[in-house]
Amino acid sequence: MYSIFKKEIRSFLSSLIAYVVIIVFLLINGLFTWVFADGNVLSQGHSNLDILFFIAPWIFIFLISAITMRSFSEEIKQGTFEILSTKPITDFQIIMGKFLASTVLVVFAILPTLLYFYSVYQLGLPKGNIDVGATWGSYIGLVLLGASYCAIGIFASSVTPNQIVAFILSMFLCFFIYVGFQQLSSLSLFGSWDSMVQSLGIQLHYDSISRGVVDTRDLMYFGSLVSIFLGLTYIVLGSRKW
Q: What one-character-per-residue DSSP string does 111-155 give?
A: GGGHHHHHHHHHHSSSTT-S-HHHHHHHHHHHHHHHHHHHHHHHH
One-letter amino acid identity for 197? V
Q: Judge if pTM exceeds 0.85.
A: yes
Per residue in 169-219, pLDDT (tens digit) is: 999 999 999 998 888 877 776 667 778 888 899 999 999 998 878 889 999
Per residue in 59-90, pLDDT (tens digit) is: 999 999 998 998 888 777 776 666 666 677 78
More confident residue, 218 or 20: 218
Residue span of the structural domain in which 83 resides: 2-239
Mean of pLDDT over the chain: 85
Average pLDDT over residues 90-117: 91
Question: Is residue 67 a contact partner of residue 21, using CB atoms and an 8 Å limit?
Answer: yes
Provide CB contacts within 8 A for 138, sequence distance 6+: 49, 53, 209, 210, 212
Answer whether the bond into residue 126 is a cis peptide, omega within 30°: yes
Q: Which of 183, 112, 180 is nearest to 152 (CA)?
A: 180
Q: Which of 152, 135, 133, 137 is nearest to 201 (CA)?
A: 152
Question: Is residue 59 a contact partner of residue 20, using CB atoms and an 8 Å limit?
Answer: no
Four-residue CA torsion sign, 34, 36, 41, 42? positive
How many separate domains does the chain show? 1
Average pLDDT over residues 10-28: 83
CA atoms of 205 and 209, how far apart (whole Å): 6
Q: Say yes or no to pLDDT of 242 above 60.
A: no
Under DSSP, the state recorded for 38 is T
Q: Say yes or no to pLDDT of 224 above 80.
A: yes
3-state secondary structure of 200: coil
CA angle 50, 52, 230 (to 5 degrees): 110
Query: What pLDDT does 39 receive?
Result: 63
Query: What pLDDT does 228 receive?
Result: 96
Question: Is residue 5 a contact partner of residue 97, using CB atoms and an 8 Å limit?
Answer: yes
How far is the CA of 227 from the CAs of 31, 134, 194, in angstroms?
34, 26, 24
Question: Is residue 141 a contact partner of residue 59, using CB atoms and an 8 Å limit?
Answer: no
Q: DSSP string spanning 66-100? A: HHHTTTTHHHHHHTHHHHHHTSS--HHHHHHHHHH
Q: Is 28 exposed, middle or buried (0-12, 13-18, 19+ CB in 10 A)?
A: middle
